[in-house]
């Protein structure tokens, strides 16, 4: 009995360290699309580790597979080969229903085109992930209003998307991605429709509100103006990750980042 | 999420109204056409309904419907009266006779001769005079529509222009009528149900009707029978048939027989059937098309919901709810419009009878429309890849 008593905390610590370490672990992930008889190999063997508490960016030329990669990571697209775990879970072993539930609870989304529901007010839009997770309407709206307050839109909870500026809409979208406290938030070009100033506001919100040591943020972007917010930048080309830049605020543009940092 | 679904639906006003219009149009057309059809069919046996007292009609076995006149020998009356279970039996004459109008024209009239003694078989509603006035010499009762249209008298002629002054003058109590060269005096005006026969209806006694009618061996068209209390009318019909060799039907059977005859031997059901089917198809097409378009327009939104963890079942529920709402509203608008159509047409001659089965069947049809309309959308959304949310 003594030995078990002694071993238990140790085992737990080992487990914790493993869990804490990585939010996303991908190796050798491939994905192809068949279009008009041709197979497009969008991902050709992706090795990607994103740590807990990390803000990772994916950059690279158009068509290199960035969107495909975050779609696989977020569980809205099935990979062909390779290994991919998100918080230790593998989508390949889940049923469609389990995947849907996992997404609803664990993943938040921010889209380039905001993708707010035009007929819903800001508060109602933000409440959607909570409603999907079965939270009662009144409670969901209350939480949504609080979240809107945190992104600086406490006064605009009853506005429709079309009554808001692009930056405000993206803030609503970010509030929506965060309201149910998902552990992973994926963003596809969150700032490309915004001006410099607004883009920075949005990034600050993402970094300060959505990120803590138990969560991770993956952002696809072309926007060099926001590179400074990243902990690491993964450079992609032709379906592969070709380079990793650490602490880009210090070393952006410098070549020869450590691929296994 | 139900609220989200409803907001989505109402977010696009034009499409929302378009879908409702499609369903409403289909409901209106189906309800209205079916009601007119039922109204017309009810008219076919209007005379049976008007003659309320007897519960059994006895006639020649070859008679197929109410206006199919095959007279019986008068002696049959006594044989019917002799059947066990018959409370009373009276003769009824029904025939087409020519009336001469004051301008010299002839007008065929539907003459009903009712039992002299009991006056059973008279009109359902007297407007002027009373049924008992038929006991006076040469008396007849004329229906109001006939009296004010086909039997109406010529207005006086303006000697200067040679044109008539004012409209035709309705036939009224005290006026004379010439039926088959027999003088008759109008002692009352009645109202009868509209029938398919547009001729004026003239009521008189059985004996007088037979004097008006051309001399023939057989003049009695029907024997009207009342069963004794506690007697099964269907069994009595069978007994009358067996004893007399005549056909005997309950009022309901005779009405239905008449409806079936008109359904089988006229184009009426086909014409209305086509309208109803057309309403159904056009409604389905409009509603289905707009609903599908609505879904396509909102595909990105459905994709976003799917990515954010809304399962197929939930999205299906949302679409069903949207379809249900437009279905209910469209149905309400359509059936309401059909009912107000009846109201607006008010006193006109339109045959319109919305029996409860019509809105009930329309409701089923609308359900089918809505299910068909949403089916395409549901398939589309279920097949939808959530990955489309990241597509620009
Ligand atoms: N559903 C699809 N069907 C067919 N081909 C696809 C599909 N999605 C992506 N592709 C192809 O896969 C490749 C990678 O696409 P992806 O969208 O991941 O690129 P990206 O890096 O996000 O580009 P961009 O910066 O332009 O958004 C491209 O060649 C693209 O045409
Ligand atoms: Mg992309």
Contact across the interface for A124 and B307, Cβ inside 8 Å: no
Sign for the pseudo-dihedral over CA of A12, A18, A20, A23: negative
Percentage with pLDDT > 70 across chain A: 87
Query: How many residues are present in chain A?
Result: 261
Contact across the interface for A109 and B309, Cβ inside 8 Å: no
Interface test with B, best of A66, A68, A118, A121 (most B CBs within 10 A): A118
Distance in Å, alpha carbon of B5 to nearest chain A alpha carbon = 10
Ligand 1, residue A71: give the atom nearest the CA: 18
Task: Report the alpha-carbon distance of residue A163 to residue A122 in Å, rounded.
Answer: 10
Nearest to A188 by CA among A148, A225, A217: A217
3-class state of residue B195 by DSSP: coil
How far, in Å, from the CA of A179 to the mean position of ligand 2?
Answer: 25
Which of B7, B300, B314 minimises the CB distance to A120?
B7
Ligand 1, residue B387: give the atom nearest the CA: 1
Q: What is the per-residue pLDDT across A78-93, written as a single tens digit (0 to 9) for each?
A: 999 999 999 999 999 9
Which of A111, A112, A132 minimises the CB distance to B309?
A132
Nearest to B76 by CA among B86, B68, B66: B86
pLDDT value for B350: 72
Contact across the interface for B301 and A131, Cβ inside 8 Å: no
Cβ of residue A115 closer than 8 Å to a chain B Cβ = yes
pLDDT value for A254: 38
A227 alpha carbon, distance to own chain's centre: 16
Pocket around ligand 1 at a 6 A CB cut-off: A 33, 35, 40, 42, 62-68
How far, in Å, from the CA of A32 to the mean position of ligand 2?
Answer: 15
pLDDT value for B216: 78
Which residue has its alpha carbon closest to ligand 1 atom 29?
A63
> Residue B13's closest chain A neighbor by CA?
A119
Question: pTM (2 decimals)?
Answer: 0.75
* pLDDT at residue A158 greater than cutoff 60: yes
Task: Report the alpha-carbon distance of residue B97 to residue B103 in Å, rounded.
Answer: 18
Task: Report the alpha-carbon distance of residue A190 to residue A19 in Å, rounded.
Answer: 28
Nearest to A99 by CA among A130, A66, A72, A60: A72
Q: Residue A132: its chain B contacts at CB < 8 A?
A: 1, 305, 308-310, 314
Q: Residue A221: its chain B contacts at CB < 8 A?
A: none
Q: Using the 8-state DSSP alphabet, how is residue A114 labeled?
A: -
Nearest to A101 by CA among B316, B314, B318, B383: B314
Task: Report the alpha-carbon distance of residue B321 to residue B327 in Å, rounded.
Answer: 10
DSSP B128-173: ES-GGGGGSTTEEEEEHHHHHTTTPBPPPBPTTT-SB-SSPBPP-T
Contact across the interface for A119 and B1, Cβ inside 8 Å: no
Nearest to B175 by CA among B166, B164, B163, B185: B185
Cβ of residue B310 closer than 8 Å to a chain A Cβ = yes
> Residue A100's closest chain B neighbor by CA?
B309
- Torsion angle of alpha carbons B192, B195, B197, B199, nearest 10°? 20
Nearest to B362 by CA among B297, B296, B279: B279
Contact across the interface for B11 and A131, Cβ inside 8 Å: no
pLDDT value for B243: 92
3-class state of residue A117 by DSSP: coil
Contact across the interface for A100 and B309, Cβ inside 8 Å: yes
* pLDDT at residue A260 greater than cutoff 80: no
Q: Confirm if B220 and B60 have CB atoms less than 8 A apart.
A: no
pLDDT value for A8: 42
* pLDDT at residue A14 greater than cutoff 50: no
Task: Report the alpha-carbon distance of residue A105 to residue A183 in Å, rounded.
Answer: 8
Contact across the interface for B1 and A131, Cβ inside 8 Å: yes
Please state, as a whole number, how many other Cβ atoms lie within 10 Å of the Cβ of residue B195. 21
Which positions of chain B have pLDDT values less than 50?
A: none
* pLDDT at residue A241 greater than cutoff 70: yes
- On average, the pLDDT of chain B sits at 89
pLDDT value for A257: 37
Distance in Å, alpha carbon of B387 to nearest chain A alpha carbon = 5
Distance in Å, alpha carbon of B9 to nearest chain A alpha carbon = 8
Task: Report the alpha-carbon distance of residue B144 to residue A37 in Å, rounded.
Answer: 81
Sign for the pseudo-dihedral over CA of B195, B200, B203, B204: negative
Q: Confirm if B276 and B29 have CB atoms less than 8 A apart.
A: yes
pLDDT value for A108: 95
- Torsion angle of alpha carbons B197, B199, B201, B202, nearest 10°? -140
Distance in Å, alpha carbon of B297 to nearest chain A alpha carbon = 12
Q: A38 - beta bridge partners?
A: A35
Q: What ipTM is given for this predicted complex? A: 0.84
Strand order in the sheet with A22-35: A38-51, A22-35, A81-86
3-class state of residue A42 by DSSP: strand
Q: B97 - beta bridge partners?
A: B109
**In B, residues 313-342, which contact A (CB 8 Å cutoff)?**
314
Six-digit token string for A204? 């600050």
Q: In angstroms, what CA-CA distances link A182 with A81, A210, B63?
A: 26, 9, 82
Sign for the pseudo-dihedral over CA of A117, B310, A214, A233: negative
Q: What is the per-residue pLDDT across A51-81, written as a single tens digit (0 to 9) for each?
A: 999 999 999 999 999 999 999 999 999 999 9
Task: Report the alpha-carbon distance of residue A74 to residue A218 in Å, rounded.
Answer: 10
Which residue has its alpha carbon closest to ligand 1 atom 1?
A33
Six-digit token string for A210? 């959505």
């Amino acid at each position: 009995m003594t030995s078990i008593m002694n071993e238990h905390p140790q085992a737990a610590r080992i487990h914790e360290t493993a869990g804490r370490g990585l939010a996303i672990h991908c190796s050798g992930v491939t994905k192809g699309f068949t279009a008009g008889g041709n197979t497009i190999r969008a991902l050709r063997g992706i090795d990607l580790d994103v740590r807990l508490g990390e803000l990772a960016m994916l950059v690279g030329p158009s068509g290199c597979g960035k969107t495909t990669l975050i779609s696989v990571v977020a569980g809205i697209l099935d990979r062909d080969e390779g290994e991919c775990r998100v918080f230790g879970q593998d989508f390949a072993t889940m049923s469609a229903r389990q995947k849907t539930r996992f997404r609803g609870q664990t993943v938040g989304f921010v889209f380039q085109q905001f993708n707010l529901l035009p007929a819903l007010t800001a508060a109602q839009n933000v409440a959607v992930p909570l409603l999907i997770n079965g939270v009662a309407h009144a409670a969901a709206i209350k939480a949504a209003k609080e979240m809107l307050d945190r992104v600086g839109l406490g006064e605009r909870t009853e506005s429709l998307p079309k009554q808001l500026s692009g930056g405000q809409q993206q803030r609503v979208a970010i509030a929506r991605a965060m309201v149910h406290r998902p552990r992973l938030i994926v963003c596809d070009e969150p700032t490309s429709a915004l001006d410099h100033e607004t883009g920075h506001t949005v990034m600050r919100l993402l970094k300060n509100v959505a990120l803590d040591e138990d969560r991770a943020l993956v952002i696809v972007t072309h926007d060099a103006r926001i590179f400074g917010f990243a902990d690491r930048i993964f450079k992609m080309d032709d379906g592969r990750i070709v380079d990793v830049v650490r602490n880009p605020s210090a070393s952006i543009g410098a070549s020869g980042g450590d691929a296994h940092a | 999420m139900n609220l989200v679904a409803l907001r989505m639906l109402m977010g696009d006003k034009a499409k929302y109204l378009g879908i409702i219009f499609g369903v409403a149009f289909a409901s209106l057309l189906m309800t209205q056409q079916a009601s007119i059809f039922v109204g017309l069919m009810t008219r076919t046996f209007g005379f049976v309904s008007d003659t309320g007292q007897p519960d059994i009609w006895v006639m020649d076995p070859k008679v197929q419907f109410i206006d199919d006149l095959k007279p019986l020998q008068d002696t049959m009356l006594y044989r019917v009266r002799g059947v066990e279970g018959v409370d009373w039996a009276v003769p009824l004459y029904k025939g087409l006779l020519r009336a001469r109008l004051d301008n010299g024209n002839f007008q065929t009239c539907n003459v009903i001769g009712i039992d002299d003694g009991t006056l059973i078989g008279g009109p359902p509603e007297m407007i002027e005079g009373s049924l008992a006035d038929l006991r006076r010499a040469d008396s007849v009762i004329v229906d109001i529509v006939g009296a004010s249209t086909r039997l109406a008298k010529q207005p006086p002629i303006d000697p200067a222009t040679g044109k008539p002054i004012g409209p035709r003058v309705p036939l009224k109590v005290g006026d004379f009528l010439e039926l088959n060269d027999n003088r008759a005096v109008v002692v009352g005006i009645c109202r009868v149900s509209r029938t398919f026969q547009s001729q004026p209806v003239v009521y008189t006694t059985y004996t007088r009707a037979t004097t008006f009618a051309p001399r023939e061996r057989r003049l009695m068209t029907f024997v009207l029978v009342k069963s004794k209390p506690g007697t099964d009318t269907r069994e009595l019909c069978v007994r009358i048939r067996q004893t007399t060799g005549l056909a005997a039907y309950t009022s309901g059977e005779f009405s239905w027989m008449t409806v079936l005859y008109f359904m089988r031997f006229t184009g009426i059901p086909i014409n209305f059937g086509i309208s109803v089917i057309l309403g159904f198809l056009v409604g389905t097409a409009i509603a289905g098309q707009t609903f599908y378009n609505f879904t396509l327009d909102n595909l990105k939104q459905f994709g976003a919901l799917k990515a954010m963890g809304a399962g197929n079942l939930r999205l299906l529920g949302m679409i069903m709810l949207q379809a249900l709402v437009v279905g209910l509203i469209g149905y309400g608008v359509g059936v309401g419009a059909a009912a107000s159509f009846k109201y607006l047409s008010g006193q006109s001659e339109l045959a319109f009878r919305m029996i409860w089965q019509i809105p009930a069947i329309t409701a089923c049809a609308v359900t089918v429309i809505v299910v068909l309309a949403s089916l395409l959308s549901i398939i589309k959304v279920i097949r939808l890849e959530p990955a489309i949310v990241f597509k620009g």
